[in-house]
Structure 1
Amino acid sequence: MASRTAYRVTARTGGRATVRPLRAVLAGALVLLTAATGYGAGAGSAHADPVPTPLPSADATAPPAIRLPVIPSRFEPLSDGCVRPSATVVPQVPWAESSLGLGRARQLASGAGVTVAVVDSGVSRKAPALAGRVTAAGAAGADCLGHGTFVAGLIAAAPAPGGGFGGVAPDACVLAVRGLAADGTPDEAAVAAGIRAAADAGAQVIDVSLAFPRSTRALDDALRHAAAKDALVVAAATPDDPPRTTGGDGEEPPPVAMWPAARSGVLSVVDVDVLGDRPEDAARPVRADLAAPGVGVTGIGPSGRGNYLGNGPSVAAAFTAGAAALLRSYRPDLTAPEVAARLTASAYPAPVPRLDPFAALSASGGSPASAARPSAGSAISLHVPREDPAPGRRATLITCAALLIALVLGAASLLRRRTRAATAREV
């Protein structure tokens, strides 16, 4: 009897030992099913940052929508003086910041030790979010228009108390350079001089908000000078407020070449909205390396702690320049061409690859310098519809997980019946 008892215990123990790996496989299948359906903690994409709820419409139960002043997108003197301070601080994390996964990227780098030059309308030293980190060439430490300060804030603003907004690289330093003529209009000569001065001052990244329909020898020479100084130039692919033209008979206008973005070696950036699409009637550049948020983007102004809205390729270029600052801070061994190649190679696949700062920082293996980039003369379609592959992948995962669960349950049931039959025979 004792031997039978010993055998029975051994038989049951063996059965449990056999069931344990089956349970482990079953648990794995359930995890796979959970990941496929998107439920549970940790499910979702790599950009699992807090996404603010869309602003509700004003009704009896919902709070009123937040309204922000808009930073001018046209580079010309304001008719009623300088941009007025904003009285509204947005407490939510802006959509652009969430979509770029900046919360994760800033865990790896903050831009410390990197100087980003902003060639724009100037950058106000009075902006609290940039306090102590702005140096200026000449009179560029004041910014009546507000655009340059807005751009610099997207690159390097520190988070404000009670606000959800923060720049891409909040520990980077900003070098303010004015790219406007004395009358406040965009000027190729001023931009060329600004790029050269920024490179000589040691800026590792040079952000150019302005775009011109032609280049000049001075601008070409300045870009070559920046390249020789290992400074990465990031530029808006088209103007923020380009003239509206058509191709005739309602056809889409042809791609345009705008400088300095059209020059080889410059990182050319276009703007996209919250859905990843370009604004309606936006100008198409002959070349675009990256796309980044540029529609309804929250940022700072030249004074006060209030927020503003900004739009255009210059806004998208600012996000890209901030990402370049993060990467140059995190990987100081990379050259400017390698930084540009890593940003483009790690971008999210789309008609124009979408900027992904965390992917650029976390990329490993191989030299990014060999990554393929669009040629200078190729036109890029910016309006091709994109099919999201995620639903198909989720369906496949769900099917595989369900089959695996069925197989495991069947095997466990069969094993349980055999164990009971063996036990009955022993008794």
Structure 2
Amino acid sequence: MPSADGGTTSLPPIPLALGGDDPCTAASKRTAERASWAQKSLSLPHAWKLSQGEGITVAVVGTGVSVDAPALEGRVTAVGDAGDDCVGHGTFIAGLIAAAQSKGTDFQGVAPAARVLGVRGTDERGTASVGLIAAGIRTAVDRGAQVVSVASALTTGKEELTGAVRYATKRDVLVVAPVAPDGETRPTDAPVDTYWPASAPGVLSVAGVAANGTVLRSADGAGEADLAAPGGAVVGIGPRGAGHFIAAGSSAATAFTAGAAALVRAYNPDLTAAETAKRLISSGPPTGDAARLDPYAAISVVTDGTRSPASAPEESKPLKLPVMSSTLQDRAMVVAGGMAMLVLLVAAAAVVIPRGRARGWRRP
């Protein structure tokens, strides 16, 4: 897999899951000194002048979030055994959301002051299930998360996952999920255009895009996403040590979006979860069928005519100007005509008088 900084640093890939005999993911011995293309494309330094996610808790429903990750030190709360992330993918996702800058690197998460709640949506080896993800979403809500980032996209679980999302939306919690699974190809040979929980009403669904702006192959045609965000070869942290890893997929794009949601909710605490989603969607420039994530614009710009996830965009309303009465119109025309005549006389004088003096004109 290519590195995210143009090839100058070769980083190990973070696994999505582990085989039965695979050891837990070890610490990376390599560090990305510079910010990745993904971080640069989001113009985060501008957004950080307004918000860094203070006071917001983002739940990561995945393989867990390591409480030992240095870049998340003191800001991780794990439910049950979720603080022991053997796979490392959940910690990677949490780092994209909220990692603080460490010495010797420019890498940071989108919301470096936010707190992280680690919740299992997989077993210890990284295999996701409908039951674990649904229970993870509900647990995240009950534990006080304002934003929930789900790392998995499943082909089944419509009823159970829709119910879990409904549980979250009724309690003003924003659920963000990938529109398709990570990887170069879809998990089955048959075409799949609906994944869960991304297709559930109220979810902010996200597709990953590469550095050149193209949608990742696994997400292409997998259903309409609400947003597009960096997902191709991005840098992140691991479950142990201060080194970095690399990964690609819509789960990474979902993490960037969840971090941006934390920035928006911290800066605009009166916004509901649905309004936060609308702000993220409406503020981004269009990229194909989905808007491109723009954290700074989402924080700072108020827009009308926005759309909620999975809904059609509203038509913009024409600007209505006050109608002037006929009497006022006549008076305005007279005044305008007089002003125009005065301007012409002054202009003519400015040209004629100097020329007359130059030719020796004298008054009789």
Structure 2 gaps, min length 5: 314-349
Distance apart, 1:218 and its partner CA: 3.2
Number of aligned pairs?
A: 319
> Aligned equivalents of 2:56 and 2:248: distance in 1?
26
Cα distance in 2 for residues equivalent to 1:371 and 1:316: 21
Q: Look up the SS of the partner of 2:221 in the other structure.
A: coil
Post-superposition offset of 1:349: 1.0
2: distance between equivalents of 1:353 and 1:92? 27
Residue number in structure 2 paired with 1:143: 85
1:371-386 superposed matches below 5 A: 371-373=306-308, 375=310
- Equivalent position amino acid for 1:263 in 2: A
1:287 partnered with 2:224: yes
Q: Provide closer, same or farther for how the CA distance between residues 168 and 419 of structure 1 changes in structure 2, counting only shifts above 3 A.
A: farther
Deviations 1:109-143 (A, max 9, x none): 00000000000100001100000000011000011
Residue ranges of structure 1 left out of the alignment (5+ in a row): 1-51, 56-64, 248-252, 379-414
Look up the match of 1:300.
Answer: 237
Deviation readout 1:170-229 (Å, 9 max, x if unpaired): 000000001113664111111111110110111000000011101254322221111111
Q: Partner of 2:155: helix, strand, or coil?
A: coil
Separation (CA, whole Å) in 1 of partners of 2:309 and 2:131: 28
* Structure 2: distance between partners of 1:243 and 1:200: 33
The residue aligned with 1:156 is: 98
Mapping for residues 17-416 of structure 1, pairs under 5 Å = 54-55=6-7, 65-73=8-16, 75-77=17-19, 79-181=21-123, 184-241=126-183, 242-243=185-186, 253=191, 256-280=193-217, 282-351=219-288, 352-364=290-302, 366=304, 370-373=305-308, 375=310
With normalisation by structure 2, the TM-score equals: 0.81
Amino acid at match of 1:68: L
What secondary structure, in the 3-state scheme, does the structure 2 residue paired with 1:353 have?
Answer: strand
Letter in 2 for 1:70: P
Change (3 A) 1:53 1:288: closer
CA deviation vs aligned residue, 1:227-280 (integer Å, no higher than 9, x gap): 111000000111113536667xxxxx5x51000001110000010011110234
Alignment root-mean-square deviation, CA = 2.6
User: d(CA) in 2 for partners of 1:76 and 1:184?
Assistant: 6
Cα distance in 2 for residues equivalent to 1:71 and 1:421: 86
**Residue 365 (structure 1) shift:** 5.4
CA distance in 2, matches of 1:374, 1:224: 14
Is the contact made by 2:63 and 2:122 (CA closer than 8 Å) also made in structure 1? yes
> What is the alpha-carbon distance in structure 2 between the residues aligned to residue 207 and residue 233 of structure 1?
6
Q: Is the 8 A contact 1:78 1:145 kept in 2?
A: no
Large movers: runs of 4+ above 4 Å: 244-247, 418-426
* Structure with greater proportional helix content: 1
Matched residue of 2:291: which SS? coil
Q: State the Cα distance separating 1:87 from its structure 2 match.
A: 1.4
Query: Counterparts of 1:287 and 1:281 in 2: how far apart (Å)?
Result: 13
| CA distance in 1: counterparts of 2:45 and 2:249, whole angstroms | 23
The one-letter code sitting in structure 2 at the alignment partner of 1:71 is I
State the alpha-carbon separation in 1 of the partners of residues 18 and 312 from structure 2: 31
For the residue of structure 2 that corresponds to 1:230, the secondary structure is: coil
